[in-house]
Structure 1
Amino acid sequence: METPQSGVYAASLTPLTASYEPDIPALIRHVEQLLETGSNGVAILGSTGEANSLTLDQRLSIIKQSAQELPPERLIMGTGSCSLKDAVRLTQASVDVGVYAVLVLPPFYYKPQSDESVLRYYSELISFVNDPRLRIIFYSFPLLSGYNFSLGILQEFKQRFGEIAAGIKDSSGNWDNMLNITQNVPDFMVYTGTETLLLDILRAGGAGCITASANLIAPECKHVYEAWKNDQQETAEQAQKKLTLLRRALESYPFVSELKSLLAEQTKSTVWQNMLPPFSLLLDEQVKELTLQIKEFDLDLSQRL
């Protein structure tokens, strides 16, 4: 099976113990549930997974242990780091366990001075890993990284590295930019970071979405994708309208805090009650408000968690 695939990827949360250690068995169970309830694949150790608040050793343990229990061809591992050599270790570890698709942020503390400096970062990463099976998905999240991938640099990546430059997750929210990339970078998988644009990106020739919301609403995302795939366009449009409204309802508070708070409320599991600082759970009244909003969509989250 080729990796990465088209479709809906859930950007997984990371369950934690009270001492801020990743609960890897709980993570594996959660990913299995996401795959069973509608996700074509799962991205582990991204922004939603609090990856950049975890230690290098914690991230390496997650990569190695999760790949032993989960289908590697359905996973994307977040391996970006401000430290080039840490990014190399994480990426190498992912490739070594058979997860060839990796999601890589550009350096985000010392901001890139130019496109050329970003090109150098990724070129060095690819050179150190030195494995033709590697598939990099560039992670465009300007709000957090301070850098927006231009069409020109993506074309340069594709020209230099071919299949290794596999695609992009675009969390900029800039539809015109996503469309431009989709139309002008051949053999390049464009994933939107929000399911509100899922049907649009699919119709434009893109790959799908990598979204945090799928931790809760993977079946609704899958409904849009499957209807589009089966050329049921009216059904896809109606499903997309519902999905967009549902996503808007889930945007009331900081997203990772909101998702963990809802999971903690629905599952009563302590692993969802822990967040690495500076994150914190929502207040009880905020969780109650969100739960009421979700009920308006006739969703029973307890049946899918």
Structure 2
Amino acid sequence: MNPATTFPVHGVFSAAATPVLADGAPDHESFASHARALLAEGCDGIALLGTTGEANSFSLMQRRQLLEHVIAAGVEPKRLLPGTSQTNVADTVALTRHALDAGVAASVVLPPFYYKGVSDEGLFRFYAEVIEGVASDSLRVVLYHIPPIAQVGISLELTARLREAFPGIIIGVKDSSGKLESMAAFASAFENFAVLAGADPLMLPLLRAGGAGCITSSSNLIARHLRVVFDNWFDPQKAAEVEAAQGRINAWRDLSNAYVQLPTIKAMLAKRRGHDGWTRVRPPLVELTADEIATVWARMGELEAADNV
């Protein structure tokens, strides 16, 4: 039995990118198609409206509508982990309550990220007011630790205090620190607590350290390789298969970082999904140049050929 499947949330979740129309609004039809494809390619679920999903570039209404549409398009809400945080309590409560009412598995909640150097006491008050504002024992929250972007992190002490104050609600953390030691510390500190890697190459070592899986950007493109790793990492007889899949994961991740990551991921999706509209990003992000896209697509062809050998 896979030890990671004992956690309240576990597996391969895609930090799904959000296609946008020419007017900048989310492209509901293309996103729903992408979500269905990700599930067919091996994802356990979709973590929509996170960093890769450009959540903070959309209005509250746009975020609610995207979630509603993907569910209406046939994606089971229990396979969704939407990001529901804003920099203020009221909007975070509204988005989180909406997601809960829609039946999602859990909400992924960033700390308020505008003010820097805030204390754990301040962060505890934010999360406590959100949880008390939603006011439901059915609420499930995955904390989002991404100090390279938010510059406001989630400490072990804050996590412990929240779990004690709100038992059963704080079920895990997405750790996008990029540091395996941070992820392993979360995994060793708490029982029945899902630690999800935010970087594709780190899922395997995190699983070995007691983690629960991943929420990653490259899974928009390489879910099947992550699936091999997650399903077989604990089986010595599958070690060679796992290491081969890990090598492919690392190569695709390197390509996704060839330029600014999010526009690169979307350029890669334009080729994979056969839809040039995928290259669009929302300000302040900027699309790759035509030459950069050509370079990325050429390298994709090489990786796809190697994958199919």
Pick the aligned partner of 1:207 from 203, 212, 227.
Answer: 212
CA distance in 1, matches of 2:146, 2:45: 20
Change (3 A) 1:112 1:64: farther
Contact 1:8 1:210 in 2 (8 A): yes
Shift of 1:55: 0.6
Counterpart among 130, 151, 158 of residue 153 in structure 1? 158
Gap change, CA 1:213 and 1:52, over 3 Å in 2: same
> 1:213 touches 1:247 (CA, 8 Å); kept in 2?
yes
Q: What secondary structure sits across from 2:138 in the alignment?
A: coil
When residues 241 and 265 of structure 1 are mapped into structure 2, their CA distance, relative to the original with a 3 A threshold, is: closer
The two structures have a TM-score, normalised by structure 1, of 0.93
Give the secondary-structure state (helix, strand or coil) at the position aligned to 2:257: coil
Alignment of 1:173-192 (within 5 A): 173-192=178-197
Structure 1 residue 6 corresponds to structure 2 residue 10 = yes
Give 1:287 shift: 1.6
Any conservation in 2 of the 1:154–1:185 contact (CA below 8 Å)? no
Q: Give unpaired runs (5+ residues) of structure 2.
A: none
- Cα distance, 1:42 vs structure 2: 0.8
Question: In 2, distance between residues paired with 1:273 and 1:146?
Answer: 27
Change (3 A) 1:31 1:4: farther
Change (3 A) 1:293 1:47: same
Deviates more, 1:229-238 or 1:68-77: 229-238
Greater mean deviation of Cα atoms: 226-235 or 84-93: 226-235
Matches within 5 A, 1:147-296: 147-228=152-233, 230=235, 232-296=238-302
* Matched residue, 1:74: 79
* Residue aligning to 2:38: 34
Name the counterpart of 2:104: 99
> Given residue 296 of structure 1, which amino acid in structure 2 is its aligned partner?
E
Distance 1:80 1:239, change over 3 A: same
**1:276 maps to amino acid:** R
Distance 1:183 1:143 in 2: 23
Q: State, as a whole percentage, how many aligned pairs show the same letter.
A: 35
Cα separation, 1, equivalents of 2:24 and 2:7: 31
Question: Is 1:17–2:25 an aligned residue pair?
Answer: no
In 2: Cα distance, 1:299 partner to 1:132 partner: 49
Q: Contact 2:268–2:300 (CA<8 Å) still a contact in 1?
A: no
- TM-aligned CA deviation for residue 300 of structure 1: 8.8
How many residues were matched structurally? 302
2:40 and 2:47 map into 1 onto residues whose CA distance is: 15
Match of residue 61, structure 2, among 37, 57, 61: 57
**Is the CA contact 1:4–1:73 (under 8 Å) kept in the aligned structure 2?**
no
RMSD: 2.1
Structure 1 residues 71, 230: closer, same or farther in 2, change over 3 A?
A: farther
Q: Deviations over 1:63-122 (max 9, x none)?
A: 222223311111101101002111100000000010140111101112352011001100
Instruction: Provide the secondary structure at the position in 2 that maps to 1:280.
Output: coil
Paired AA for residue 76 in structure 2: P
| Aligned 8 A contact 1:3 1:100 in 2 | no
Q: TM-score, normalised by structure 2?
A: 0.92
Counterpart Cα distance in 2 of 1:299 and 1:169: 32
Cα offset for 1:268? 4.0
Ranges in structure 1 where 5+ consecutive residues have no aligned partner: none
Q: 1:298 to 1:275 in 2, by over 3 A?
A: closer
Deviations 1:251-298 (A, max 9, x none): 111111001112223444243132211112211221222222233333
> Deviations 1:198-247 (Å, cap 9, x if unpaired)?
11111111111100111111111112112225552332223213312321
Distance of 1:122 and 1:208 partners within structure 2:
24
Deviation at 1:4, TM superposition (A): 5.6
Which segment drifts farther, 291-300 or 150-159?
291-300
Residue by residue, what CA displacement relative to the aligned partner does 1:182-207 show, whole Å, maximum 9, x if unpaired? Answer: 01111110001011011111111111
2: distance between equivalents of 1:222 and 1:195?
11
| Alignment pair present for 1:144 and 2:176 | no
